[in-house]
Amino acid sequence: MDISSWFYQGEWYECSLSHAETKYGKFYFRSLPGNKISFEIQTKENNTYHGTNLYTISPPWKNLAEKRFISASAAKNGSGHYVFSQGIKELVNHVANGEWIQVSFQNQQAPALNLVIPSIRVRDAVTAFSSCTAKLPEMAYEDARTLELTFAHGQSVLLQEQKNILSAFRSYVVLDPSVEKVLIDGHTDAIGSRVANLKTSQSACG
């Protein structure tokens, strides 16, 4: 790839860092709420590749060539869409430090196809992408919409783990402009008197 450019786009619910589209397809990083970050490939045509391997390699002007395996992926339903979810934060750091990306498409009937994605002119875009990622909610919509906290028998005070969950929930609520109200509902088991259980529920919800 002789021409290499990277572009950042970000919203409160998603961040992306995309390489300029090539004749092979699209290559991009994607961050979502809940600390989810991936490197994704969308090839232009469906193909017979049964999987891909992701590496970092040294740029060609370095005397000592290095190659690091990052992750492996399989196409989703033969769609030509590959998603890597392991080691991607590490990959972003390597790209920011000048390492290039190599994608190896595996084919059982033919030699692997190796594509190199340069990290030229990427530093500003990586900085913006990383800043956007750090501001994303700690909880995704799927988890926030029906959040449940389970209390032990007689418990009315939040444990630290539960406080952390609520903190993540808050990080989502304050950013989603569609959220107007939050319903808090508490209930207990049938052990004990109704009065005691009512007080426990009210204390837990408070």
Please write the tens of the pLDDT for every residue from 46-92.
Answer: 666 778 899 999 999 988 889 999 999 876 656 788 899 999 999 99
Degrees to nearest 5, angle at CA 62 with 57 and 66: 35
Please write the tens of the pLDDT for every residue from 96-123.
Answer: 999 999 999 887 777 888 999 999 889 9
pLDDT reading at 39 higher than 70: yes
Task: State percent of the chain over pLDDT 70.
Answer: 83
pTM of the model: 0.81
The predicted pLDDT at position 99 comes to: 95
Task: Output the CA–CA distances (angstroms, integers) from residue 205 to 66, 81, 186, in the order listed.
Answer: 55, 44, 6
Q: How confident is the model at residue 1 (pLDDT cuts 50, 70, 90)?
A: very low
What average pLDDT does range 134-162 have in this prediction?
85
pLDDT reading at 5 higher than 70: yes
Please report the domains of the chain, with CATH numbers, ordered by start residue: 6-135 (2.60.40.2540), 141-205 (no CATH)
The predicted pLDDT at position 192 comes to: 54
Report the mean per-residue pLDDT for the chain.
Answer: 85
Tallying the residues shown for the chain, one arrives at 206
| Alpha-carbon span 132 to 114, nearest angstrom | 31
Let me know: does 56 contact 68? Beta carbons within 8 Å. yes
Please write the tens of the pLDDT for every residue from 178-197.
Answer: 988 888 876 665 565 555 55
